[in-house]
Amino acid sequence: MITKLIKKAKRLVEENRVKPVVIHSNGAMLFEVEGDTKLHEVLIKSDNTIVCDCDYHLTTGRVCSHILAVILFLAKEHDHENKTEQKSE
C-alpha cells in the first residue's frame, strides 16, 4: 500500500498535476491536485496540518497520494531554490 501511494504521488508531481493556488498571509497554502478521477484541494493550514478533500483522507484521516504529492512538490521546489541560490553565490 505504501509503495503504491508513493509511486502515485511521484507520478502526480512528475506529470505536473500539482498546482499552488493560494498562499495566505498567515502561512496557509492551498493546492489543486489533479487526481486520476477528479480535481482535489489540499490545504496546508497555518499550524502545518494538512487536509485533502478526497474520500480516502476524509474517511480514514490517513495521508493520501494527493497530500504526499504536495509534500513532494514542495520538497522539489525547495531543492530547486537551493540549487539556484548556490549557483548565484
Domain boundaries, the chain: 2-88
In tens, the pLDDT along 47-71 reads 999 999 999 999 999 999 999 999 9
pLDDT at 84 over 70: no
| Per-residue confidence band for 82, with pLDDT thresholds at 50, 70 and 90 | low
pLDDT at 89 over 60: no
pLDDT at 81 over 80: no
Rg from Cα positions in the chain = 14
Q: Do you know the residue count of the chain?
A: 89
> What pLDDT does residue 88 have?
60
Among 21, 18, 23, 4, smallest CA distance to 67 is for: 18
Q: What pTM did the predictor assign?
A: 0.86
One-letter amino acid for residue 5 of the chain: L
